[in-house]
Amino acid sequence: MNYHLLGKSSLTISEIGFGCMSLGDNDTDNARLIHSAIEGGLNYFDTADMYQKGQNETTVGKALQGKRDKVILATKVGNKWRPDGSGWEWNPYKHYIISAVEQSLKRLNTDYIDLYQLHGGTIGDPIDETIEAFENLQAAGKIRYYSISSIRPNVIREYVQRSHIASVMMQYSLLDRRAEETCFPLLQLNDIAVLARGSLAGGLLVNKPAKTYLNYTEDEVYKAQSALHAISGMNRNASQTAIRFVLQQQPVTAAIVGIRTIEQLNDIIAATRTPLLTDNEMIYLRASIPVNYYEQHR
């Protein structure tokens, strides 16, 4: 397993992160999977207060008892469940963030959160107030660093200019390269890490039948699938090739992958030991999807 500094922070994280949203309802099974991940070299675990209405944080907290000092623990804030459970509302205000972190700390059974992320964001938010909340929590020792999870370039630009974010979590894969056009150069210039989610495009790059995805047609998705499978084989399977593609993008610090089974975990850990994609393989994959596709469909 390779490890990298998270941007300008002092956090050293594994290049594969465990996306905890995929965990089930059984605490014992979840703990077994998380403990196996730690033994396999993963040290970054990412959850959110909205996942399973807080139960995801609770099960992660239980699994990490006695192992807290071995991991980098990240969670998110901003989506507030309605009291009747009918859905959630966006709340980026300081008073809510300050109160929400206390609930996350309690569920995670920890005194601090390594990386606290704003779970979304719009250009109409009170951004300075949101930043102030994170800065206050950092000064109080409740969190070590803060970041945002967003795919909105205008929001990302504002946080780059106005805050001290350590990273940005965003969707990125062979089938979703919007970040290359809109965010990667800016984040790289400012030494802000990229945490890539959705590396397998919901399974479309691995084992699911081709279908429309974002603005891509079914035929275009099939061509991308075919290209990825064409360069996979004895040295790498399709999922490992898809993850390798993501990890070899210079701004990407880690791929955050949802893991449900030990078999998936072992397959994903093995991806870090597979050969790097060659320049020709990277060119071949990129050629399978029009580079300016998103510019043509804005």
Residues with active-site annotation: 51
Please, what sign has the CA dihedral across residues 97, 102, 108, 114?
positive
Rg (CA), the chain: 19
- In the Cβ-directed half-sphere of 263, how many Cα atoms lie within 13 Å? 0
**Residue 175: alpha-carbon gap to chain centroid:** 16
Closest CA to 296 of 213, 199, 216, 220: 216
10 Å CB burial of residue 284 (0-12, 13-18, 19+) is: middle
Question: 93-132: b or e for each residue (b if 16 or more CB lie within 10 Å)?
Answer: ebebbbebbeebbebbebebbbbbbbbbbeeebebeebbe
